[in-house]
A and B are shown apart, each in its own frame.
Chain A
Amino acid sequence: MRKLGTASKIYMILIFVILYAPIAILIFYSFNESNSTSVFTGFSLRWYGELFRDEATIKALENTVVLALLSSLISTALGTIAATGIYYSKTRWYKSSLLTVNNIPLMNPDIVTGISMMLLFVFVGTMLKISGVLGFMTMLIAHITFELPYVILNILPRFKSMDKFLVEAACDLGCTPKKAFFKVTLPYIRTEIIAAFIMAFTLSLDDFVISYFVSGPDFQTLPIRIYSMTKKRVTPDMYALSALIFVTVFVLLILTNIAQDSALREKMKKRINKRRVAS
């Protein structure tokens, strides 16, 4: 393989600098003493203090985590079961139409998914004469709905590599179909389920557009809070928040990478040991 030339290295560095410069500047100004966004007057942690004293933001953070956990748990459970059913289904039209519908939220712009769900909730609300339907429940339903397609697409391909006689063998050996699912299928697709859960969780944490349309005044998530804060001129506690989110994302990504690496090493070790036993 040819080595990369200096020009291409400079190109890469340049793109990364542009990609990170705005974020770096935000983090830099989050430590600013005054509330100026352009003149640095001195180092202080004042804005971090203000951020933690801002109850609405802390509440929004709490809401975001609760919603993300709950929605991703439900969507992962529902999606795992759905993927199993879809894979083994032999009714071709049923299978293909489910997969097509599954793709709709992936292809549709978020704004369309958001307003379509909002209209459903408002429509049902007016039918049942309930005012103020939008709130935690509608947010939960919407988040589960947009997470499900990702969960299913994460898990489904794994079945293709599974020996279909494994489940049959378990049943022949006396397992009930239910027991075979828990003893054979579930452990086999375990890694994909965890990956699907993490993906659903992060999607939920990060979602703004869909949440924006289906949320009510009583239940705000962090992205919605950020939106309403950036509507007017913001104080640097916003920057402090950006800095904290950035550091969290960075650390999480590094941790997952290390976890994946060690899982891979573990796998390789096992394989080598197996070969040793075999020979």
Chain B
Amino acid sequence: MNNKTYNGISAPYALWCVVFILAPLAIVAYYALTDSTGAFTLDNITGLSMYADTIARSVYFGIIATAICLIIAYPLAYFISKTKASKQKVLLMLVMVPMWMNFLLRTYSIMVLIEDSGIINNFLLSLGLSPIHMINTPGAVIFGMVYDYLPFMVIPLYTAMTKLDVKLIEAARDLGATSFQTLRDVIIPLTNSGIVSGITMVFVPSVSTFYISQKLGGGKYTLIGDVIEMQFQTAYNYNLGASISLLLMVFILVCLFVMNKFGDIDEGGSIV
């Protein structure tokens, strides 16, 4: 078969990409740069300054949630990779099961747990302690992000760690490195690819979420995702919604580009 036929058989897919991936993005840009009558305007772009607080909050929450995930997942992935091979499989499955359970239900289950009259507070009351207000706080939103997306961090880290050569760690120890030095100079650089893909896989959904902030933030801490969702589902201002989405997309692509500079993502243990 010559080259033309090979290009020919991927043509349906190429067409699909143009119509359903590229054209939609072009239409997002079109909506962002026009008003409801279809006339060109920059109002939607300049109007973004109104949402500066929301954007800053989303990025801030996203960074904190990602950092906490990394701190929790790194030792976890390391310990899993150090258990017996047969056990590793079971442990990895235990990490993955919640990931395959609908995230709406998982988020909802946290709500049931931490509500003012929820399970934890009822338990505290029954012990004679005073209840703690947890829901509708920034902490609750960030906890929700960590809880929902933790597996996305563990899996790539674990994959990177299974490729780690134990002899290198032993060599470092033999040559007099302390545990901390071994971690800093050997283990972390060698699992860099896993760290980078873990960070992206937690940060992107955290920054763009809207369900978690609705359920656990009680609508008090709106994030970029909430604003987009509102424009499309209740306010019906598609033009403004499109400009916010455009901003979110550009922001994420810049972040990914920068992250890629730090680690070769193709080598990493992304779960795809």
Query: Interface on A for B, CB 8 Å cutoff?
Result: 1-2, 4, 8-9, 11-12, 15-16, 18-23, 25-26, 29, 37-39, 78-79, 81-82, 84-86, 88-91, 94, 98, 101-102, 104-113, 115-120, 122-123, 141-142, 144-145, 148-150, 152-154, 171, 177, 202, 206, 208, 213, 222-223, 226-227, 230, 234, 238, 241-242, 245-246, 249-250, 253-254, 257
Contacts and interface: CB of A to CB of B under 8 A. Distances in A.
Given A12-B80, A112-B248, A119-B31, A86 B102 contact: no
Contact of B13 (A79, A118, A213, A222): A79
Interface string B1-30: 101011111111110110011111101101
Contacts of B241: 115
Contact of A242 (B16, B97, B105, B211): B105
30 contacts: A4-B83, A19-B95, A19-B98, A20-B98, A81-B9, A82-B9, A84-B10, A85-B6, A85-B10, A86-B13, A98-B13, A98-B17, A106-B272, A109-B204, A109-B205, A109-B249, A111-B208, A111-B248, A115-B228, A123-B30, A150-B272, A152-B13, A206-B103, A213-B232, A226-B102, A230-B104, A242-B109, A250-B97, A253-B93, A253-B97
A238 to B, nearest CB: 7
A98 B228 contact: no
Per CB-CB distance, the 3 closest pairs between chain A and chain B, nearest first, are: A85-B10, A82-B13, A109-B208
B206 to A, nearest CB: 10
Interface in B109-162: 109-110, 112-113, 117-119, 122, 147, 150
Main secondary structure of the interface of A (DSSP, over half): helix
Interface of B: 1, 3, 5-14, 16-17, 20-25, 27-28, 30-31, 72, 75-76, 79-80, 82-83, 89, 91, 93-98, 100-106, 108-110, 112-113, 117-119, 122, 147, 150, 166, 204-205, 207-208, 210-211, 215, 225, 228-229, 232, 238, 241-242, 245, 248-249, 252-253, 256, 272
A23 B99 CA distance: 12
A206 B228 CA distance: 21
Contacts of B101: 23, 242, 245-246, 249
B24 A120 contact: yes
A90 B23 CA distance: 26
A69 B208 CA distance: 28
A88 B1 CA distance: 10
Contacts of B109: 22-23, 25-26, 242
Nearest to A23: B109
B140 to A, nearest CB: 13
Contacts of A227: 104, 211
B125 to A, nearest CB: 10
Main secondary structure of the interface of B (DSSP, over half): helix
B100 A249 contact: yes
A202 B100 contact: yes
A90 B252 contact: no
Contacts of A81: 9-10, 12-13
B102 A23 contact: no
B119 A245 contact: no
Nearest to B238: A119
Contacts of A254: 93
A107 B113 contact: no
Contacts of B215: 230
A206 B28 contact: no
Contacts of B5: 177
B12 to A, nearest CB: 6
Given A117-B20, A120-B27, A111 B104 contact: no
A259 to B, nearest CB: 13
A216 B211 CA distance: 19
Contact of B76 (A11, A78, A104, A144): A11
A227 B8 CA distance: 42
Given A26-B112, A85-B7, A208 B27 contact: no
A81 B91 CA distance: 36
Contacts of B272: 106, 149-150, 153-154
Nearest to A250: B97
A145 B25 CA distance: 13
Contact of A226 (B10, B105, B242): B105
Contacts of B232: 115, 118, 213
Given A153-B272, A177-B1, A245 B105 contact: yes
A38 B122 contact: yes
Contacts of B21: 101, 104-105, 145
A249 B95 CA distance: 13
Most chain A CB within 10 A, of B75, B100, B166, is at B100
Given A39-B122, A101-B22, A141-B20, A245 B13 contact: no
Given A109-B208, A253-B97, A38 B12 contact: no
A117 B28 CA distance: 9
B252 A107 contact: yes
A84 B79 contact: no
